Structures are given as C-alpha cells and as structure tokens.
Structure 1
Amino acid sequence: MDQTLTHSQLVRWRTAIFAIFAASGLSVATWASRVPSIKADLGIENSQIGLLLLGMGIASILGLSSSSVVIARFGTRKGMLGAMIIFATGVALIGVGTNVAPSATIVVIGLALFGFGNGAVDVMMNVEGAAIETHVNKTILPLFHAFFSFGTVVGAGLGALAANLGVNVFAHTAVIAVLILIGAFVAIANVPAREVAGDTVDDHAVDKPGWRERLAVSLSAWREPRTYALGVVMLGMSFAEGGANDWLALAVSEDHHGGIALGAIALTVFSVAMTAVRIAGGPLVDRFGRVAVLRILAVTAAAGILLVILAPNLPLVFVGAALWGIGASLGFPLGMSAAADDPAKAAARVSAAATIGYVAFLCGPPVLGLISDHIGLLNTLYILVVLVVASGLASSAAKPLAGAKVGAGPH
C-alpha cells in the first residue's frame, strides 16, 4: 500500500509534476518556434521537414510503447528522470546539427532522442497527474496541462526573441537543455515513491507483485472498448494541437507572408490562449461537465483553424490562432481525466489513453507536411477541421463512469 502523504508532501508532489509538464512544453516549443530557422539554415523543403518530424514521431512511438515496461520495471520516478535526460540531450543535438556541424542526420538523431524522451515522459507525467487528481477529487488535469502550455508559451516567446535578435539555434537549444536537466533532478526529488506507480518502496516485501505482473496489469487497458472510444475524442484535439505546434509558425511566416518573427508570435498567441483555458478549465468542467465542454471547444477549434486558413489579413489570422488554441486546450487532459475515473485501474488506462493521443500529437504533423507539398500547407489544415469535428461528435465517450464525481457537471 502507498504511504499516506502529508499536505506538504502533496504540495511538493503537485509542484514537481507541474514543473515536469512545463519542461516538456518548453522543449516542444523550442523546436517548433525554430523550425523556420532550421529550415533556412539547412536549406531544406517542407517535405524534408515532414520527414524529420516523421523520424521524431517514430521515436516517440517507441518511447510511448516502452513506457509501460519502464513503469513496471523501474517506476515512474526513475522513468521520468531518465526520459527527461534523454529529451534534453536531443534538444541540444538539434542545435548542434543546425549550426555547429550542419547536418540533417544529426538533427534527425537529436529529434529521435527528443521524441523518445518526450513520448515516454508524457505517459508517466499523466499517470502522476491523474493520481493527484483522484487524490484531491477535483478536475485538475487541465491545470497540469496548462503548465505544459505555459512551457510552450515561454518556449515560443524565447524562440521569437531569439529569432529577432539573430541568436542561432545552437546557442538557444543549449541553454534550454541545461535548464531542463536542472529542473529534472529538482522535480524528481520531490515526487513520492508509490507502489501503484511501480516505484520501488520495499524490494524485499513478500507480497510485492513482480514487474511482469505489473506490466500485464498496465497492458490490460488495451482490451477495453472505452479506451478506444476515448482515443477518438483525443485524436482530433491532439492532431489539432500537434499541427499548430509544428506548422502554425510556418503557415504564418510563409503562406501568410508574415516572416519568421511573426510566425513565432502566432505560435505564442496560440499557446497563450490554450494556457488560459487550461487554467480555468477545471472549475468549468466541474460546473458544466466534460461532455458539454468538449463539444463547445470542438466548435471553437474548428472555427479557429478555418479562420487561419481563410483570413485575408494577419490580424484575423492571429484571432484564428487564439480560437484554435482555446478549442484545442482541453481534449487531451479531459481524455486523461476520463481514463482515471476508476482509481483501481487509473494508471493502466491513463497510460493507454495517453499513448493514443500522443501518437496523434506527434505522428499527424509529419503526414501533414508530406501532403502540404502537393496541395499547399493552408489547404492541408482542412484535415484538422474534419478531425476536430469528429472529436466533438465522439465526446460522449468522456462521460464519467457510474459513481465517479470528477467531471460529472450538473445533476
């Protein structure tokens, strides 16, 4: 049985997971905000950017797939620390391959490490966040994801500043990598060891289940139909979020002729809007219910993406970016929250649901890049509109299970 936590330990645990979410967001936006610079420095096309993203996506799938094994074998604490070290190293290598030893191959290696580490840590930090949510009996996963978005706001803002000041990609990514490493060690020191999360509490306990047994339990969620129903809900919104992170800056800088700096600023607008809704999201969901909120936000996201595609001027493009961020803000965290409705199986279900959403988040954008070379980037974004609408139509899958109070809304 897990140890009873004091209020102080709970606060430190929650703060540590906030920091890990923020570090992940910081790393993602650092890469995303410098895509135009990396493209220019390496002299590559959208299709090649798409292939870089595909390599990152494949590595992320490996990270996601191995996360259950890592949790079962080492626990989330050690797993998160290792994953953060890996993706910080990847961030630094992206800069090395862009400026120090210009090579698309080195950038691919960096993106592979970046993708693997982020894929693994995404599952583990959501498992931890869902456990905290269940512990306090309130919808707070959107707030954890707000810190991911806060990290993307800081990352996109620093990216815009670096682009304006002419700071090269290597100098930028090296500083970010060091910050992530420092944050990783400080945060993990404040995450409590929990047996249900696979952390080693007593290696000599007679009744302690073996790691293979824990792995079998964690994989059981993949046999449940509700896992896939929640996956449909998360698919469209994760596609929309990942599409914005990887292609919004490029769409504004090139297709809307705004330039590199305005492209980074558009991504910042998207991230700020997403962060604001995630901060307010918990109380809204507890008041109106998961399903109603998801349906409204699906309409908002679709409208925002359409405005980015069709707007005749940059001010309207920025309005569209804001609506896009608002609409895409809660799909992923509410899917996680729904997966955690049953505390007995929360870790396994959250892990499975996070995998589905994250595959869409990382593997969708590379496909968009390949398609965009044939029909144009803005036309490609119509795919996101269709997927967001599908997510809204499937939102009833997020209805809380019988007896669950978190996210139920009015009665």
Structure 2
Amino acid sequence: MTDILTRRQLHAWRNAIFVVFALSGISIASWVARLPAVRDQLSLDTAQIGVLIFAMSAGSVLGLIAAPPVMLRIGARGGMVLSLCLVATGTVVIGLGTSVLSSAVVVGAGLAVFGFGNGSVDVMMNVEGAAAERAIGKTLMPLMHAFFSFGTVAGAGLGALASALSIDVAVHLSVIAAIIVVSVLVAIRFVPRGVEADDPELLAPRVPFKERLLASLAVWKDLRLLAIGVIMLGMAFAEGSANDWLTIAVADGYQQSNTTAAVVFGVFTVSMTLGRVAGGPVLDRFGRVPVLRVSALLGVLGILIFIFGAPMPWLAYVGAAFWALGCSLGFPVGMSAAADTDDPKQSAARVSAVAIIGYVAFLVGPPVIGLLGHQFGILPALLLVLVLVALAGVFSPAARERARGGATPSSLPSH
C-alpha cells in the first residue's frame, strides 16, 4: 500500500505522527506542571501523591498490554485517535476532581484513564512511526521522539503560564484536552489506513504460542542484554522520577512557588529535548560507550546539585538542566544496543526485553520515590535516582557497538 503514496502524502503521514508524539508529550507535561497545585488543593502528603501516581502507572501498564489487540482490531490509525481521546478524557477528569469535586478518588480515576491512553498510544505511535520510516526510507524515529520532548516543553510552558496567571486547574486541563482532541482529529486524516498490513512480520506464518514464549524467554539468559537492561533501568528511572517529582521537589524542597516549579520543569524538558536532538550526531562521532559514560556523569552531577542546592534556588535550574542532559539518551541508546545482534531474528525479543525493564522503571520508579519522600523528604529520596544513574554509567560498556566487517561507530545506526 505504501508504495503507491506520493512523496507529499508520505511527508504528510510523517508530520501527522510528529503531531501524535507531541500531543502525548503535551498531556504528560501539563499534568506534571500542575501537580503542585493539585497537591495543594487536595491537601495531599507525599505518600498520597505517590498513590495517585501509582494509579496512573497501573493504567499505563494496562494500556501497554491492550495496545496490540486494539491495533489488530481497529488498526493503529483508529487506535491512536481512541487512545488520545482517552488521554483527553482523563485530563478533564483530573481537572474536575481537583477544582470542582475536590476528590482525590476522582483524580486517581482520571489518572488511571490518562495513563491507559498514554500507555497504549505510546506503542501505537512507535509502530506507526516505524512504518512511516520504512516507507520514506530515512531514519526518523529519533526525531519523532524529539517531538515528544517538544510537546513536553510546550506543555510545561503552558502549565507555568497557567500557574502564573492563577488559571484554575480544571480550566487549564480542559483547554489542553480540547487541543489534544482537535489536533489528533485533524492530523489523523493524513495517516493512511491499514499500513500494518504492509509489515512482513505480520504477514509471516503464525508461530505457536509456546515457541514464541520460549524464544522470548531465551534472550534473558544473555548477560550482555541484562547489563543493557541495567542502563535502561537507571536512565529510565531518572527520567520518570523527574517527570513526576521535579515540580514537587522544587515547591517543597526549595520552598518555591508552584509557578517557579513549573518553570524549572520547563528547563528540564528543554534540556531533554536538546539532548535528544543533538544525540544522533554525537553518538555517530564518539560511539555509545563514551556518550553513556559522559551522560551518566552529567546526570549524577545534576542530581547532586539539585539535591544539595536547596539554599540557593538558582541551583535548581542548573541541576535540572544537567539531570535532563544526563538521562536524555539512555532509553534510545539502550534500545539501539539491544537490537545490535548478529541474529536479526533475535532483535525483536531483545528489544522487547529491555523495553520491559525501561517501562517498569518509568512506571514503578515514581511511586517508590513518593514512599521514600514521605519517610525522608523528597530531596533525600532522590539519592536513589543518583545511585541508579551511576550504576548505568558503570554498565555502559555493555552498549558497545558490535564489530561488523570493519564497521566503525560512525557507520552504525544510532538513535
């Protein structure tokens, strides 16, 4: 099907997926930017916030699980619309639960729906993005993930503006929800139908479930893959913890306003975006291992500055910037390293294995930080993030490029 699309249609398809990635980023950053306001209006402590975040995490896991059968049933095109509409619905419920009903239970329910939608759209937009990449014949996935970061920058900026203008949380999040729905309905018109049918893996004969299960489990015996998983664990934990706790840490640990907290989060998202945009050329020039080592060093330095800089609020900005740069490339580099194998048939299983580790860190990490923060304070709780980032740096040699007929790092694919 994709071979009959014109170049203009292919580019429109690519741009539509850019929009979907950006909308997911906007939704997540909007919630994070208003988290301090949600906490204040509902009079929640750190442990209770951790429970709310766990509701979102649980919804995200269910969304990840549900995505494949949903795509099989209605396709990625329809699935992305459905998922982002669920994200928008959850966003509205979060706002209503905060400002109108003053109910943590309602907010938790909204976060569960919000998480489900974001978990499922995460799978679908990557599948569709990979299909567009194959059809166009150029490496596009790193840029697509950069658009997610662009979305977080926009969401953080709008959140900071809404906080500065004292805009009600329900009003702000309802506007964001409307933007998400309208944008996806406009963009989805440029995504061709039934692209999944072009995927040779989906056309291949079905392998019995037992054989597929054994093949998937076999990759877990690979010690190098497990070491790559440690890299993914540390970097994904650092990114996920920042997404959910950075604003609270600034508001509580630094005793700053909710607006300032949102601005610091904006610095984090901008730095994350810059790291991902520049990551491809840097990886091509220096290779994975040196880049991961320097990234881990930057991450550790940034987290240290952030934790111990509380007497001087300007250090929160510096710490957030280094923290973001440090963990910006961990997830894409880990995925690329996992796929780097002599047996192409093992690539999917290997990528799936490290993706599971990464997503567990994304989803489980924030509630763990919440429980530790309740016991020891939010800034000391972030020491766990520092330890895991340092551990990722120690295991960075596992991501080394495999030699292939004299290939050099600059000739190997990177993300």
Bin of the TM-score, shorter chain as denominator length: 0.7 to 0.9
**Deviation (angstroms), 1:4:** 6.1
Which of 228, 231, 234 is equivalent to 2:229?
231
Q: Does residue 1:8 correspond to 2:26, yes or no?
A: no
* Residues 135-180 of structure 1: per-residue CA shift (max 9 Å, x gap): 6776653322221111111111111111111111100111111111
User: Greater relative contact order (Cα 8 A, min sep 6): structure 1 or 2?
Assistant: 1
Residues 10 and 136 in structure 2, CA contact (< 8 A), matched pair in contact too: no
1:101 corresponds to: 101
Residues 3 and 135 in structure 2, CA contact (< 8 A), matched pair in contact too: no
Measured in 1, the distance between the counterparts of 2:405 and 2:2 equals: 22
1:154 corresponds to: 154
* Residues 167-201 of structure 1: per-residue CA shift (max 9 Å, x gap): 11100111111111122223333334566xxx357
Alignment of 1:4-403 (within 5 A): 6-131=6-131, 140-193=140-193, 199-200=196-197, 208=203, 221=216, 223-225=218-220, 228-311=226-309, 312-341=311-340, 350=351, 352-400=353-401, 403=404
Measured in 2, the distance between the counterparts of 1:188 and 1:340 equals: 30
Measured in 2, the distance between the counterparts of 1:367 and 1:324 equals: 19
Measured in 2, the distance between the counterparts of 1:37 and 1:60 equals: 23
Moved more, 108-117 or 57-66: 57-66
The alignment's TM-score, normalised by the length of structure 2, stands at 0.87
The alignment covers a number of residue pairs equal to: 405
Residues 126 and 350 in structure 1, CA contact (< 8 A), matched pair in contact too: no
**Deviation (angstroms), 1:296:** 1.2
Q: Which runs of 5+ in 2 are unaligned?
A: none
Residues 197 and 203 in structure 2, CA contact (< 8 A), matched pair in contact too: no
Moved more, 308-317 or 336-345: 336-345
**Deviation (angstroms), 1:367:** 1.1
* Residues 285-325 of structure 1: per-residue CA shift (max 9 Å, x gap): 22222232222111111110110001130112211111011
Secondary structure of 1:409's aligned partner: helix
Measured in 2, the distance between the counterparts of 1:136 and 1:402 equals: 28
**Deviation (angstroms), 1:117:** 1.1
Secondary structure of 1:257's aligned partner: coil
Measured in 2, the distance between the counterparts of 1:219 and 1:87 equals: 35
Distance 1:372 1:127, change over 3 A: same
Moved more, 225-234 or 356-365: 225-234
Q: Which runs of 5+ in 1 are unaligned?
A: none
Residues 139 and 337 in structure 1, CA contact (< 8 A), matched pair in contact too: no
Letter in 2 for 1:321: A
**Deviation (angstroms), 1:407:** 9.4
Measured in 2, the distance between the counterparts of 1:241 and 1:303 equals: 15
Letter in 1 for 2:321: A
Residues 10 and 135 in structure 2, CA contact (< 8 A), matched pair in contact too: no
* Residues 2-27 of structure 1: per-residue CA shift (max 9 Å, x gap): 64654333322322222111111111
Distance 1:218 1:150, change over 3 A: farther
**Deviation (angstroms), 1:400:** 4.2
